[in-house]
Chains A and B, each alone.
Chain A
Amino acid sequence: MRTRSKKHSRSINESGQSSGFLAMTAIKPGEIDALRAYLEGFRDRGERPLDKVSGTHMARFVIVEKFNCKPVYKQRRAENIACASLAFSSNLDGSIDRYLDVLCEQLQPEAQEIWGRCVGSPATCEGKALKDYLKHNQIDCGFFYAAYGEATVPKVKAALDQRERLMAFATEHQGVPAAELQQAFIEEFA
């Protein structure tokens, strides 16, 4: 029996203009190792597929195989996860809805390779079908902290670049006469 889709409250997943998204999707039996190898392969090959999903600040793919429990925890009955699960978590710009639209369209062929190995995913992991699947498996935030929730990825990157340029400019233009300074500043920044 499928659990009913929950209505995911906007505000608990938000901080400033940014949102936090988490989906936990059961991995098909026998596919864990292949999925892990695929995900680990990005770094080994120097690939950064999430660059394609605009609005992604920081994200991770984590394969969850168990819930840890030790006798010293005094948990009356150990509880393990019945089926290994892929956790995909992203800290992103704007609404989750818009983000998933972008992800489901742009993260190809990776989305197929990743969620194609999960139970219940659409035959073609893209577009609305994939978005619905991910939303079905979404886990809401309890408490979401964003240190600079007002700033989008493009804004952060542009600001970082600008800071480097300003520091270089300020260092190189000490003691430079006013007119020359002004001209150089306009050329560099305005």
Chain B
Amino acid sequence: MSIAPPAGPITATGTASRNIDGQAISITVFSTIKPWGKVFLPILFAVTKRAPKLTKTLVQLSFIHFARWSLVKQIPHNGPPQPEQKLRYTHMYFESNFNGGWEEYIDAFSHILTSGMAAFWGSSFGFPKALPVGPFKEYITENETAASHYYSAYPEATITMVKAALEVDEHLVPLKRGAQNLSPEAFQDAYTKMLTDAQRSL
């Protein structure tokens, strides 16, 4: 029997309702990049990708399902009536898919990833420092665009639930495989051990 995860309580707050699907919140931000950022950001992206230690804090914070920074150097052109436009500046597209509440999300990033924010946003025109939080939140709000439609394939599941579920699966697989072959007592021991090992995911 399959049990759909119960509809969760309200935790997704602080943003337009169209940015929300269940517990998941989307944030979409465009910013204009200063000339030095055009050189700096690709290097930053490459370095961060190759050094998982740098994203360790992001992982520990456990707010984000998926996040992305992309550089828009030119808008793809499709012929008339789209005007030809050669962008003078590079623009940066940022998106995040997270849980918990917009205010708490920005607070966490400002206080805990202060230098990370400076690295990724420092070359954007108008970026105030990440602290104090007030001006930074205003900056994000000014540059944020609400989604017209936002979708999550598992809207009621928060990121820690997903990670916990994957963790539980790892613990359960060997027990599921071997359950038939154990004596009842041996099974009970194995089952109890499984629960004990997996308890922080249950």
A-to-B contact residues, CB < 8 Å: 1-3, 12, 18, 20, 22-26, 28-29, 35-36, 39-40, 42-43, 48, 50-51, 56-64, 67-70, 72-75, 77, 79, 81-83, 85, 87, 89, 91, 118-121, 133, 136-148, 151, 153, 155-168, 170, 177-179, 181-182, 185-186, 189-190
Contacts and interface: CB of A to CB of B under 8 A. Distances in A.
B74 interface: yes
Nearest to A138: B76
A87 B55 contact: no
A32 to B, nearest CB: 10
Given A120-B78, A167-B202, A178 B184 contact: yes
Given A70-B142, A182-B182, A62 B148 contact: yes
A24 B84 contact: no
Interface string B14-48: 00001000001010101110000000011011001
The 6 A-B pairs at the shortest CB distance, nearest first, are namely A120-B78, A73-B126, A39-B148, A159-B165, A178-B184, A82-B85
A122 B49 CA distance: 36
B30 A166 contact: no
B147 interface: yes
A148 B62 CA distance: 11
A36 B148 contact: yes
A150 B191 CA distance: 26
Contacts of B168: 159, 162-163, 166
A148 B162 contact: yes
Interface residues of B, number: 91
Given A58-B153, A182-B184, A139 B58 contact: no
B154 A160 contact: yes
Q: Summarize A's interface: helix, strand, loop or mixed.
A: mixed
A72 B89 CA distance: 17
Interface of B: 1-6, 18, 24, 26, 28, 30-32, 41-42, 44-45, 48-49, 55, 58-59, 62, 64-72, 74-85, 87-89, 91-93, 95, 97, 125-126, 142-143, 145-154, 157, 159, 161-166, 168-169, 172, 175-177, 179-180, 182, 184-185, 187-188, 191, 195, 201-202
Contacts of B87: 79
Contacts of A18: 66
Contacts of A119: 78-82
Contacts, number: 274
A29 B78 CA distance: 13
Contacts of A136: 76, 78
B91 to A, nearest CB: 6
Contacts of A40: 18, 148-149
Given A73-B32, A142-B92, 20 more contacts: A23-B76, A24-B75, A57-B66, A61-B150, A62-B147, A63-B148, A74-B126, A79-B32, A83-B75, A89-B28, A142-B42, A145-B55, A148-B166, A155-B169, A164-B5, A165-B1, A165-B2, A170-B195, A182-B191, A189-B172
